[in-house]
Amino acid sequence: LCPPKAATSSDEEDDSDASTKPIRSEKKKNPVSLFQTGGDPPKEKKTKKKALPKAAESEEETPGTPQKNSNKKGKGKKSKKVKEERPPSPVIEVDNLEEFVLRPAPQGVTIKCRVTRDKKGMDRGLYPTYYLHLDNDKKVFLLAGRKRKKSKTSNYLISIDPTDLSRGGDNFIGKLRSNLMGTKFTVFDNGANPDRANANWSNVRQELSAVVYETNVLGFKGPRKMTVIIPGMNSDNERVPIRPRNDNDGLLMRWQNKNMDNVIELHNKAPVWNDETQSYVLNFHGRVTHASVKNFQIVHGSDPDYIVMQFGRVADDAFTMDYNYPLCAVQAFAIALSSFDGKLACE
């Protein structure tokens, strides 16, 4: 079994000025350039960019007090204590849910979410349902996901309707599929299988992300090592569509063949061993309160201070999931779902 304290946040780190470092580095560097891979010529990107820094400042600067990670077990009720412990999301307008969950996070705004795991029902242990909500007062529903039954490999359906998790329904928005070993995952949108392509391939599904889990020296005990592969962004800050015509053209094969045109490679931030707590620790700035092997932060190798995504436990069946540009909700939720998978899952 995995050690119970695999990667959590530590009080020591949260009390230090480490919590200000990512904010400083974001102002020095422009993280957007890390994810640009070409694509179309620019159109009207300047107007977009000018409007966004305000959101970044208001979101980042609002917590005036240092965020301590008090490790109190919050009940999830709307009490002030819980809010201080886990800073909520800024006001995010979800006008059209389908568009919102596929749209990259605005530059400079961290979209803070909460994942809950529901194990009720006949197959509760094997096929729980996962729900994604915005972590704010309104608790706006974003996505639901569940593992498909009778599938040879792990196959999670992702829906924009919490009550309809069927493959054929209008609410199907994407899926996460693993290899036989359960160590590599691919995230698709709701487009058609290449076998059912139309004449110009415009209806074929896009690959939104891939996740690779490496076994370390200890097998799966100890900190996990994750590689996340995503499509790059064009000069208009839109995702470059990756529509493979067969399995040899997908994100995983491109990454394995080192064909990184229009593809970005990310990794989880390595936790640091803490002698005092005898555990691996990461600084989650108050957003994660429970130790778990599932806790992780995803970063770009060129700027490890810019957290593209972080995920971690706050209760037995509740987790926070925060993501930044260039990820969208479907990408981040699917990456989080991959960490729950049976062959990897050890608490």
State yes or no: pLDDT of 81 exceeds 50: no
Domains, the chain: 89-340 (3.20.90.10)
Predicted TM-score (pTM) of the model is 0.76
Quote helix, strand, coil % in the chain, to nearest 5: 20, 30, 50
Note the pLDDT of residue 74. 36
Segment 153-163 shows an average pLDDT of 90
Nearest to 3 by CA among 220, 311, 301, 299: 220
Segment 145-149 shows an average pLDDT of 87
Note the pLDDT of residue 151. 76
Segment 155-160 shows an average pLDDT of 93
CA torsion angle 93 95 97 99 (round to 10) = -100
Note the pLDDT of residue 222. 62
Residues 6+ apart with CB under 8 A from 328: 101, 102, 103, 104, 105, 208, 239
Residue 43: pLDDT band by 50, 70, 90 thresholds?
very low
Residue 255 β-bridge partners: none
State yes or no: pLDDT of 53 exceeds 70: no
Segment 11-18 shows an average pLDDT of 34
Kindly state the tokens that stand for 216. 């370390």
pLDDT digits (tens, 9 = 90+) for 86-109: 566 566 777 799 999 999 999 999
Residue 164: pLDDT band by 50, 70, 90 thresholds?
confident
Q: What angle do CA 296, 299, 303 make, to 5 degrees?
A: 145
Could you tell me which residue, 33 or 76, shows the higher pLDDT? Answer: 33
Note the pLDDT of residue 13. 34
- For the chain, the straight-line distance linking the first and the last C-alpha, in angstroms and rounded, comes to 8
How many Å apart are CA 323 and CA 260, to the nearest integer?
A: 23
